[in-house]
Amino acid sequence: MKKVLLLGASGQIAPNIIPAMESHCDFTLADVKPYPDGRPIEHVDMRHYDQVLDAMQGMDAVMNFTVNRPDPILSFHVSTLGALHVMKAAAELGIKKVVHTGPQLVRSYYDQDFEITDVPRAPGTGYYGITKMLSYEICRTYARIYDIQTICFVFNGLGLEPSEPIKGEDFPPFRIFWKDLAHACCLALDIESVPDNYQEFNMVSMTAHQKYTMEKAKRILGYEPAERWENYYKRDV
């Protein structure tokens, strides 16, 4: 079982996928704030290289779910500098697998388009988008030079999968459910290599709009949603 450091373990995403992944990997959870149910975690501040390096010792892989969205200073120091610290430490320690995460930067630009795969990174100047975009470029560069297989999952919306029919509303265009994300993360940890050592993947659970495709994630990672979730959004006829 792979030893995996999960950075940002107490954030808005990780606690929702950890239970489904724990039979697949041996997690060490790390964050700067307590885990929701009080479970012990390691304190790792992404701004400090020595903390990141120490936490990564002995790991087979790292999953980086850290982010600071709105703060003019912390966003650069957590999202951008933090990504540099992770990739530097991976290079130094010989860790060959990193799962990085961040926003799909321009989802609404393409609301009138269809069959969309990878899109140019065009975040604009907002702190969340630009700092994560810079982190992607850092990851890509280190992945290329140090042969670190880096899978970058990009999100636009996440949530709990539906369990009963949802009436009177359409599903969001770019959403992944916890169950599917946990599965995708397991695939990312298992895959031996990705083209050019670095690939970004749209994380979506529903594609009936024919808008954002999951073709690349399917082709490279073998990802498929657990169910056809669109069926929960059926209109009665």
Partner 1 sequence: MNVLITGAESRLGQAIARELAPGNQLRLWGTGDPPSELGENITYFEGDMRDPDVAWHAVRNMQAIVHTGEPPPNLPEDDLACERELLDLATRGTHVLFKAGIDAGIKRFAYGSTLQIFEAYPDDVYISEMWRPMPSTDKFQLTRYLGEMTAREFARDFPVAVTVLRLGKLIAEEDASPQNPDLMWVDYRDAARAFRLSLNRDSQSELKWNRRFALHHICADIPNPKYLVGQISGFQLRGFQPQHNFETIWRGGGA
Distances (CA, A) of 157 to 47, 69, 154, 176, 192: 26, 15, 10, 6, 28
Of these, 138, 154, 194, 204, which contacts partner 1 (CB under 8 A)?
138
Minimum distance from residue 210 beta carbon to partner 1 (Å)? 27
Distance CA(52)–CA(90), nearest Å, equals 10
> Quick check: 124 binds partner 1 (CB under 8 A)?
yes
Q: Where are the alpha helices (DSSP H) in 98-191?
A: 127-146, 178-190
What's the closest the beta carbon of residue 27 comes to partner 1, in angstroms? Answer: 28
* Span near partner 1 by CB under 8 A; candidates 13-21, 59-67, 116-124, 201-209: 116-124
Q: What letter does residue 161 receive in the DSSP assignment? A: P
Q: Which of residues 204-233 bind partner 1 (CB under 8 A)?
A: none
137 contacts partner 1 (rule: CB under 8 A):
yes
Residue 87's φ and ψ, nearest 5 degrees, are: -70, -35
Angle at 189 between CA 188 and CA 193, to 5 degrees: 70
Q: Does 68 bind partner 1 (CB under 8 A)?
A: no
Q: Which stretch binds partner 1 (CB under 8 A): 62-70, 77-85, 155-163, 227-235?
A: 77-85
- Considering only CA atoms, which of 55, 59, 51 is closest in space to residue 25? 59
- Out of 65, 142, 174, 177, name the contact with partner 1 by CB under 8 A: 142
Provide the binding-site residues for partner 1, judged by CB under 8 A: 49, 72-73, 76-77, 80-81, 84, 91, 122-125, 130-131, 133-134, 137-138, 141-142, 144-146
